[in-house]
Amino acid sequence: MPVSMIKESAHELVDKLPDSATWDDLMHQIYVREAIERGLADSKDGKTKDVDEIRNKYGLQK
């Protein structure tokens, strides 16, 4: 993502926080945003696993 878009996205995150927000609240929002973006990129790149494969790996039942 270009720097200008990152800065714009950061401003939007800050603007959406309540006036009582803490640094931890901001860091949490950044973490969640980054996790979602990485997940979407992995999905787009086909880097996903089938649910049944994961369940079998950990011995979980349906």
Helix (H), strand (E), coil (C) string for the chain: CCHHHHHHHHHHHHHHCCCCCCHHHHHHHHHHHHHHHHHHHHHHCCCCCCHHHHHHHCCCCC
What global pTM score does this model have? 0.71
Instruction: Give the count of domains, the chain.
Output: 1
Q: How many other C-beta atoms lie within 10 A of the C-beta of residue 33?
A: 14
Give residue 45's pLDDT band: very low, low, confident or very high (50, 70, 90): very high
Cα 46 to Cα 56: distance, rounded to the nearest angstrom: 20
Query: What does the pLDDT read at residue 4?
Result: 84
Domain membership flag for residue 18: yes
In a domain, 19, yes or no: yes
Range of the domain at 28: 3-57
Domain membership of residue 62 (yes or no) is no
Residue 33 main-chain phi, psi, to 5 deg: -60, -45
